[in-house]
Structure 1
Amino acid sequence: MTPGPDDPDRTRSEARGPEPDQLGADGPPRRIARVVVEVEPFHLDRAFDYLVPDDVEVVAGQRVQVAFAGRSVRGLVVEVGDHSEVPPARLRPLKRLLGEHVWVRPDELGLLRWAADRYGAPLADVVRHALPARTVDVERRAADAGWFPPGTARRPRPDPPPPAADVDAAWAVYGESGTELRAAVAAGAGSFLWRPLPGEDVAARLAELAQLCLAGDRDVLVLVPDPASPVADAVVAAAGDLAVDLRGGPSPRVAYRRWLEARCGIARVVVGERGAVWTPLERLGLAVVLDEANPAYKERRSPRHHARDVVLERARRAGGVGLAVATVPSAVAWRLLRERRVAPVTPSRDAERDARPRVRVDTGEGEPRARLTRASWRSLREAVRAGSYGVLLASRRGEGRALVCGRCGERTACPVCASSLALHGASVSCDGCGWQAPRVPACPACGERRVVPLAAGAARLGAELRRAFDVPVAVLEGYGQPAPDPPAVLVMTRGSVLDRPPGPVGAVVLPDLDGSLRRPSLDAAEDTLRLAMTVAAWTVHGRVRTSPGLVVAQTREPDHPAIAALAGWDPGAFWRAEVQQRAALRFPPLAHALRLDFGADPTGDLEALRAALPAGDDLLGPVPVDGRWQLLLKVDDRAATLAALRPLREAWSTDDRDVRLDVDPVDAW
């Protein structure tokens, strides 16, 4: 089957030969464990054969410690048999079992293999993400408490769900699609994309779905993009003792205990960030990913998976419901909608129009150039006078970097990749591709070399607003920062935007939509619109306000599809327009994107790459980025391209070259 652990680079053809009787002709056949060893090199992405000692009982799914290339490492048993293609003299015994329980069950192993194939990653990398570190004392204490090993404890019963009439009334605005979702959660299956009504109490609705699923004796997984999520708080509170909360990166000991609680069935609701997507549950009935387009769900290390995709696939394999929640769907989710692989759950268009925030698109035309227009200042002052929050969403932390011409306002762009330039003393550089120049280039519109920041960062905006307001002005630049009591002005960045507001919001100002739309990333437009609509909806949160606050969107591009969609509260219109623009560029959702990241200049590899890739694949680059070199592939058949790349990647790995792959990257470069 596979090479032995002392010769990991030996090919499969070289390992063929021994017959089963060579392993034990004079006695019972020796047992062979095939182990995925947790090592990093891509060319070692296969199972290795080990002898199972006579006094050891081992089954597929158990974790073991083995000797590998002179080291003691962990591995996962994926198969147990009675023969091997490796000569008996080269087989090494398992060193020891890491716990008597099964860590990965057959259906779960299938999911791990799917993730490895989907993202072109070694199975060992997926295993490392999926399984926590073992703590023996946690197992001992769990056994003393009577709920370990798995199968020991009785399955706990949930509280009764809320009255059906109340739930029906809360979901009535979603019509037949809402009814189908709730029926599937109660006792069915399916994949859904839910676009909540503006101002919807998403926390209450998801808590209702969780209780409905538990009442059907099925379990719940809820992923949130940030640890301070109020929606997660509501789900945990509704589930009570049945929930384990994995948010915030608990210590390895606590994480293992909570993982064991889920593995043993005494936890029936798991809530966490993207890492919780692998946590086992006995009978998964509902898997939710809140704000599915949030870039926080994209793993930055191999296998570089996206939690949304894993959630939907995991629910499908379990025969449950996969639910993605989004105001503005990602490119991947939009493609799934077009292919009818997920069903939309949306309010009626009339209800959405009635509930949407008041959005004013303000170009500042005819006004002196300033960071905030008159309408923005007026809306913030009216909000604090009414005793509520005025919220200003900054596009960056700190002081701000992107530059524009000091005379005409034209953006100072990189001549290589058209990204915004940043000033470093007298010189300028591009954060997108690394281009540098000793002095600011002349403005192509007016010839001026004097530049000013396109938009201030949160810290600078906060300092300026404190001089203008006599109420607290708080700069919130990260998760979990408390807001002062209203009235107050909150200067926020994306990291402090939660799934519900900190209190009543009377005004939202979006001063730098243009800078956000120009970011050098594949998802810049939809991500900007998603964030803007999330914060704008704070002005109508709870669906009970009779006089919603004002949202002021400052822009010099009022006709941009994202700006038009915000004003009309119509993400569908955004994607219809955006798809037309992306068709000429062949960008997602019309094609798949893959990015190869090299530690050294890959120019010498381009000929081999072009020869290996399927016909029709586009290869762009290489582009230098932060000391590395990147290539972007635009492909129609992702699986075919990954298969074509595999021999090259194995050769690069064998040569110890630092090459990384990102399937469906968030950033273009």
Structure 2
Amino acid sequence: MRIARVAVEVEPIHLDRPFDYLVPDDVEVVAGQRVQVAFAGRSVRGLVLETTDTSEVPTARLRPLKRTLGAHVWVRPDELELLRWAAERFGAPLADVVRHALPARTVDVERRAADAGWYPPGAARRATSDPPPPQDEIAAAWSVYGEQGQRLLAAIGGGQGSFVWRPLPGEDVAARIAELAQHCLATDRDVLLLVPDPDSPVADAVVAAAGDLAVDLRGGPSPRVTYRRWLEARCGVARVVVGERGAAWMPLDRLGLAVVFDEANPAYKERRSPRHHARDVVLERARRAGAVGLAIGTVPSAVAWRLLRERRVAAVTPSRDAERRARPDVQVDTGEGEPRARLTRASLRALRDAVRADAYGVVLASRRGEGRALVCAVCGERTACPRCASSLALHGVAVACVGCGWQAPRVPACAACGDRRVVPLAAGAVRLGSELSRTFEVPVAVLEGYGQPAPPPPAVLVMTRGSVLDQPPGPVGAVVLPDLDGSLRRPSLDAAEDTLRLAMAVAAWTVHGRRRTTPGVVVAQTREPDHPAIGALVAWDPGAFWRAEVQVRAPLRFPPLAHAVRLDFAIDPTPLLGGITQALPAGDAVLGPVPSDGRWQLLLKVDDRPETLAALRPLREEWSAANLDVRLDVDPVDAW
């Protein structure tokens, strides 16, 4: 007998195991091929994990493979091990990882590629004839990053290593990454670049530098185009892959450099199973390939900070003197003594000065214009949960904490003035734009998403996080951050570092290029000037933020001091709590259940993530077999 052991692409975790199928005499199949099989009365895809001549299943019960999907091997042995690692790391069925990693097949794409002479894999590999950038110019550009910067350059020239790079304020990051990509290509090694949004100037620069060696997956191309680009990378015709989080799995024969730009951006977190984070996949992939893994960001995520503390990645940072000289001018404005308004007098003055200088004035609105964060209508003091200090949300006359679930029948008295009247802290972008258009004579543009062009300066730009790109649209004379307090208290585990990351990204626009003789000003409106994130923004010191933040999180056992695992149930899991608590390793803590959008959620705080996932596995299989809808998220972004 010839037996193919197949990972069948079905969802339930209690079916997360290989199934044996007979290989017909007229079919040639090897490990790593994708196949069509019959499963539970329907035809589904599967990935061949291995071939053998024995099976524990009686021969009479074995079903034959229907057919192979393409003549090529979809997943090579080292890639299969990465898929298995991801399934274990994120507590997901292997089938879910396979579905994310592999595109849908289009036979016509294979036919056209064969006619062009570059399919199947091995038929052709495109070599680059471009010389590397001048080494003296690269060395000069990276000299500000000291010994670790030179170590990074040496690794890209033919070595390996994992790095976290914090660019100097105003650095031309797009040019630096394009140089690194060319340097890597010149050594006959391939490049992978992940960006969080489709309009990334960094990605544009790399694609332009690589020319026809690059495939660009940004914006979610059609399945047909995606499969063609996947085949180009599989066959070695493409040497550079650029895309968003889905590109983390794209095959490259000789990976030399894998870059995750803005590594802490929540857009890299997959919301569907396996709910992986693309940064983790790319760094692990580079490590296994003997390549350079490079995560880039001004404010490291909790995961990156933990890796830095454990010395599993090396920090590439400018000297503190250089950083102080280059940092933006950040002014903290508490609005004390002023009537409550969306923008303080200092903010309006900064915007007016910017447009008078024929530049942009930028206002960063809250992410969705949400009004869940409440402040006192009289004095502006933020209304905070007495248990965890998160923001409170109104439910009629009652209030509830969006962080830990604490509830009260009515709004608590203001800690500063005793009044119980509250109003939303943040206005949405459209409302802010409408208010500003009555104040300024120049155009006021509201940019709420990707791909929205800005009017030429002078103008006021009201932006949400989705419109904040790698580089400013032009000269920026002022940046106003009016909603920091609400953002800092969002009900997410990464609220503080994410707010600081976004604030620093926009603030850096005022010094972009480091060529302006009169850089702009940044006005940070806050009622909490002593918050570690505010202090780090002013000093331009993310390390100081994390040193202070870990002290706050230590008693709470929140990341990066512990791992978080979230369980999301379709029903109230209270009757299941006893079994869950009993199964978990000693020391694991359970918060909840908390209702959220028609579902119920538990948050687990754990020290040994693999041990906890292994302890939960029998319960999850039991729930799955009973058709109970339970979703697991390792290292979630949102608490609830």
Q: TM-score, normalised by structure 1?
A: 0.93
Q: Aligned with 1:597: secondary structure?
A: strand
1:411 and 2:382 equivalent? yes
Letter aligned with residue 373 of structure 1: T
Moved more, 425-434 or 634-643: 425-434
Q: Aligned with 1:282: secondary structure?
A: coil
- What are the equivalent positions in structure 2 for 1:324-363 lying under 5 Å apart? 324-363=295-334
- Distance change in 2, residues 1:456/1:427 (3 Å): same
- Distance change in 2, residues 1:425/1:589 (3 Å): closer
Task: Give deviations 1:472-507, integer Å, cap 9, x for gaps.
Answer: 110111111111111110001111111111111111
Q: Aligned with 2:554: secondary structure?
A: helix
8 A contact 1:434–1:626 mirrored in 2? no
Counterpart for residue 6 of structure 2? 35
Letter aligned with residue 629 of structure 1: W
Q: Post-superposition shift, 1:401? A: 4.5
Corresponding residue to 1:579 among 550, 556, 559: 550
Whole-angstrom CA distance in 1 between matches of 2:347 and 2:170: 22
Counterpart for residue 51 of structure 1? 22
- Distance change in 2, residues 1:570/1:441 (3 Å): closer
Whole-angstrom CA distance in 2 between matches of 1:158 and 1:621: 59
Whole-angstrom CA distance in 1 between matches of 2:370 and 2:54: 65
Q: Aligned with 2:555: secondary structure?
A: helix
Counterpart for residue 537 of structure 1? 508
Letter aligned with residue 600 of structure 2: W
The alignment covers a number of residue pairs equal to 640
- What are the equivalent positions in structure 2 for 1:266-281 lying under 5 Å apart? 266-281=237-252
Counterpart for residue 18 of structure 1? none
Q: Post-superposition shift, 1:439? A: 6.9
Corresponding residue to 2:208 among 207, 223, 237: 237
Counterpart for residue 291 of structure 1? 262
Counterpart for residue 602 of structure 2? 631
- What are the equivalent positions in structure 2 for 1:470-619 lying under 5 Å apart? 470-619=441-590
Q: Post-superposition shift, 1:424? A: 7.3
Task: Give deviations 1:128-179, integer Å, cap 9, x for gaps.
Answer: 0000000000111111111111111133324112211111111111111111
Counterpart for residue 233 of structure 2? 262
Please, which runs of 5 or more residues in structure 2 have no aligned partner?
none
Q: Aligned with 1:328: secondary structure?
A: coil
1:171 and 2:150 equivalent? no
Whole-angstrom CA distance in 2 between matches of 1:434 and 1:349: 41
Counterpart for residue 376 of structure 1? 347
Whole-angstrom CA distance in 1 between matches of 2:324 and 2:388: 39
8 A contact 2:369–2:426 mirrored in 1? no
Letter aligned with residue 177 of structure 1: Q
Counterpart for residue 273 of structure 2? 302
8 A contact 2:166–2:317 mirrored in 1? yes
Letter aligned with residue 292 of structure 2: V
1:224 and 2:222 equivalent? no
8 A contact 1:433–1:625 mirrored in 2? no
Identity across matched positions, percent: 84
Q: Post-superposition shift, 1:415? A: 7.4
Q: Post-superposition shift, 1:403? A: 2.5
Whole-angstrom CA distance in 2 between matches of 1:609 and 1:226: 38
Letter aligned with residue 243 of structure 2: G
Task: Give deviations 1:176-212, integer Å, cap 9, x for gaps.
Answer: 1111001101100000000000000000000000000
Q: Post-superposition shift, 1:447? A: 4.8
- Distance change in 2, residues 1:637/1:427 (3 Å): closer
Q: Aligned with 2:514: secondary structure?
A: coil
8 A contact 2:127–2:188 mirrored in 1? no
8 A contact 1:416–1:435 mirrored in 2? yes
Q: Aligned with 1:353: secondary structure?
A: helix
8 A contact 1:219–1:281 mirrored in 2? yes
8 A contact 1:40–1:124 mirrored in 2? yes
1:396 and 2:329 equivalent? no
Q: Aligned with 2:157: secondary structure?
A: helix
Q: Post-superposition shift, 1:548? A: 1.0
RMSD: 1.7
Corresponding residue to 1:183 among 146, 154, 160: 154
8 A contact 1:158–1:242 mirrored in 2? no
8 A contact 1:592–1:634 mirrored in 2? yes
1:214 and 2:185 equivalent? yes
Q: TM-score, normalised by structure 2?
A: 0.97
8 A contact 1:222–1:271 mirrored in 2? yes
Moved more, 490-499 or 423-432: 423-432
Whole-angstrom CA distance in 1 between matches of 2:431 and 2:399: 21
Please, which runs of 5 or more residues in structure 1 have no aligned partner?
1-29
Whole-angstrom CA distance in 1 between matches of 2:235 and 2:148: 35
- What are the equivalent positions in structure 2 for 1:80-99 lying under 5 Å apart? 80-99=51-70
Whole-angstrom CA distance in 1 between matches of 2:141 and 2:112: 43
Whole-angstrom CA distance in 1 between matches of 2:503 and 2:547: 19
- Distance change in 2, residues 1:76/1:399 (3 Å): closer
1:649 and 2:620 equivalent? yes
